[in-house]
Amino acid sequence: HALPATVFATPTVNGYRRFQPNSLAPDRVGWGFDHRGTLMRVLGGIGDPATRIENRAGEPAANPYLFIASQIAAGLDGLENETSLGPSDDNPYETDHPMLPSGLAEALELAATSKLYKAQFGDLFMEYYSKLKLAELVRFQSFLEDNAIEDDPAVVTEWEQNEYYDFF
């Protein structure tokens, strides 16, 4: 469920810019011990009372309630279905795991096909959330077209600064 959950963890156009290899942010699905490049980072170990799990896809603009709810739903589904995690990733940027969505549009497409999130959040909520985020995406695309700008993952646009920075 990591791929469709990305839309709740990273709900802005701007958030996907950091999903680059060797950037200390994840760029694909996977887990590992104390490595900032993994999507799910485990800190601590067996018997350590301070052991914790960190989802590295989340951004500060994420709604904490939706983000946590999506993670709880995915975790419970994994437990109920006894889903295997597979081995930990020592070199997360060198695995053949699925890549995280490259942008908000791809994340929305993945979320729209998620049976889990439709069942947990309801069709109406998922439809409303998708429309809200698609409207944001249309505003961004309009800005790019109006200003004859190519979307470059390494460049934060004026639109993103105006849309997010003052608010978040």
Query: What is the residue range of 35's domain?
Result: 2-165
The Cα 79–Cα 82 span in angstroms is 5
Stated pTM of the model: 0.90
pLDDT of residue 59: 94
User: Quick one: average pLDDT of 55-78?
Assistant: 95
C-alpha to C-alpha distance for 4 and 29, rounded to whole angstroms: 11
pLDDT tier, 7 (very low <50, low <70, confident <90, very high otherwise): very high
Give the mean pLDDT of 130-144: 97
Q: What's the token pair of residue 156?
A: 């934060």
Give yes or no for a contact between 95 and 87, defined as CB atoms under 8 angstroms apart.
Answer: no
Backbone angles phi, psi at 30, to 5 degrees: 160, 170
Type of residue found at 32: G
CATH at 113: 3.30.590.10
Question: Which among 61, 16, 66 is positioned nearest to 164, based on CA atoms?
Answer: 61
Please report which confidence band the pLDDT of residue 154 belongs to, taking 50, 70 and 90 as the band edges.
confident
**pLDDT band at 53, cuts 50/70/90?**
very high
For the chain, how many structural domains are there in total? 1
Beta-carbon contacts of residue 13 (< 8 Å; ≥ 6 apart): 103, 104, 136, 137, 140, 160, 163
User: Which residue type is seen at 56?
Assistant: R
Q: What is the pLDDT of residue 142?
A: 97
